[in-house]
Structure 1
Amino acid sequence: MRRGIAYLAGGPKAPYALPASKSVHCQGGAVDSDDWHNARAAAIWRENGWRQTARFPNDPKKDEPWHGEYFPALDQHRNTPASSGASTAPQTQQEEDDDMIFICETPINGHNDAAGRNRWICDPAAGTKRNISGEEYDFYRKDLKVRELQGLQSPAITNRYVQL
């Protein structure tokens, strides 16, 4: 998701791409995810047969740390029936959401919306924000289901992020 937002903002692009006829993505065997940067999430991906196959740390022009491919033989849970329920307490919503991308609106003049609103997409993990149009805001909210901070927010919410 973060790479997608960076891409929309004119940021980093994938170093290379195969034609659809050869793409593992198009065959359902690959995903691009920022979860690889989260140790807990990456461990779950690996446990379930996913591996980062486009890592070239010494060659940034080729490195795609977000790319993962599925290997059924490495899936420790393949053909294991799902349990009837979780045996451990789930994370609280706050713990899950702390580093998730979100959208919000702040007043242009800092205290009320008489002068209009700024609309933002913020990436806490990267420490960045980008001003977006009302149309983009609606797209992120309705179509992509990006987390939204409800109601008019204080500018202090977004002031901690660097503007792209």
Structure 2
Amino acid sequence: MDVKLAVGVLTFFGVIIGATLQYFFTKHVESLKHAKELKSKAYADYLDAISEDASYNHEIGSRAQKRVYAKIADAKARICLYGSSEVITAYSEFLALGGVFNSQKQKDAFTKMFSHMRKDSGGSEILNLQEIEIILLGHPNDDT
């Protein structure tokens, strides 16, 4: 009878321990997934906002311009909050160069930042940054 009781008690505690471990592992995985979603959304929102700013000639001081600048500022803050150190470093290098695409050095800094954002969001690393530059900014010899 003592053996049956011991088996029952051990089984009970095994189930309790297993359920507890499963709960904490699931919670941890969901936390990581949520952090990745926040990070990816911040990156996508930033790219969306700068694309909107570049695509439209908003009147200086207009509501539309202020709205776009507010979106950019919000995304920047979230990038600083959730972004990886590689992304933040690449982003600060791009901004230190002026945050525009007037020179090849600025374009290189932007494509490097974009590549880090992509990798940080779960994509594979792109080794040929010129491919990103052509897709996002146009051919290097174009004025697009």
By percentage of residues, which structure has more strand? 1
For normalisation by structure 2, the TM-score amounts to: 0.21
Higher gyration radius (CA)? 2
- TM-score after normalising by structure 1: 0.19
| Higher helix fraction (1 or 2) | 2
